[in-house]
Amino acid sequence: MNYGYLKKLEEDSRYLEILNISETMNAQLTECFISTRADGGAKLADVLLIKVEEIIESLKADGHRLYNHDYCGSVEYQSSEQTWGPDYSEEGLFLYFIGFSVQLSWHNT
């Protein structure tokens, strides 16, 4: 049995899952921005916080263990940053929100 090949398939599968989740989340964030941008910066900052919380709660419901590692909020929503992920001793999904976008990666122990 070629365990290296199986590990590669597992990593590829995880990467594809991360790409799919990222695409879905970024589409949700883009739609949220488009639908509220006429309301101005302060409203966008509030809406952004709510949307990120919704996304995090959805991922938690799917079994991901996520904790807020860092938050730098601002009325200037473009400067708003949030970092979510597993405890540093755990393996799992890691999210880095910047304004109305998100980048994902997998945290290995």
- Check residue 78 and give its pLDDT: 85
- Check residue 72 and give its pLDDT: 87
DSSP letters for 59-90:
HHHTT---EEEEEE--SSGGG-EEEEES-TTS
- Check residue 6 and give its pLDDT: 60
Residue 64 and residue 92 in contact, taking contact as beta carbons nearer than 8 Å:
yes
Give the residue carrying structure tokens 């938050």.
71
Q: What whole-number distance in Å separates Cα of residue 108 and Cα of residue 11?
A: 11
Residue 37, C-beta contacts closer than 8 angstroms, at least 6 positions apart = 44
- Check residue 11 and give its pLDDT: 76
Give the residue carrying structure tokens 């979510």.
84
DSSP letters for 37-56:
GGG-HHHHHHHHHHHHHHHH
Residue 68 and residue 84 in contact, taking contact as beta carbons nearer than 8 Å:
yes
Query: Global pTM?
Result: 0.83
- Check residue 5 and give its pLDDT: 62
